[in-house]
């Protein structure tokens, strides 16, 4: 019998999804204002997500997926894990 070992990354900490969004914006060289325009959201809504004051909803996850090409489930999982941790880093 062959023993299969799976390598999985399972950090023991959670960061706010807004931090990931901010890093993604920087990597894509897109401003928060540009993201607001591309997703049809207000700049305030984007700023609130980045600052951890607003969650990434399912609809926002789909909008982010369209802009960045990152699957919506990635954004939804980031938000879910963050909320499950009590919403604290």
- φ, ψ dihedrals at 15, nearest 5°: -110, 155
Residue 3 has pLDDT above 90, yes or no: no
Residues 63-72 pLDDT 10s: 999 999 999 9
Number of neighbouring beta carbons within 10 Å of residue 61: 21
Residues 32-57 pLDDT 10s: 999 999 999 999 999 999 999 999 99
Q: How far apart are CA 38 and CA 46, in angstroms?
A: 11
Structure confidence at residue 44 (pLDDT): 98
CATH topology for 17-84 is: 434 Repressor (Amino-terminal Domain) (1.10.260)
Share of the chain above pLDDT 70, in %: 84
Q: What is the pTM of this model?
A: 0.82
Exposure letters 12-51 (e unless 16+ CB within 10 A, then b): eebebbbebbbebbeeeeeebeebbeebebeeebbeebbe
Structure confidence at residue 65 (pLDDT): 98
Confidence label for 19 from pLDDT (cuts 50, 70 and 90): very high
Confidence label for 13 from pLDDT (cuts 50, 70 and 90): confident
Give domain limits for the chain.
17-84
């Amino acid at each position: 019998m062959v023993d299969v070992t799976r390598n999985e990354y399972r950090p023991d900490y959670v960061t706010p999804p807004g931090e990931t969004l901010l890093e993604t914006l920087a990597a894509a060289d897109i401003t928060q204002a540009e993201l607001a325009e591309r997703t049809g959201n207000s700049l305030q809504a984007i700023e609130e997500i980045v600052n951890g004051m607003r969650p990434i909803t399912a609809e926002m996850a789909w909008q982010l997926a369209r802009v960045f090409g990152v699957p919506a489930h990635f954004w939804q999982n980031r938000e879910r894990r963050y909320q499950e941790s009590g919403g604290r880093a």
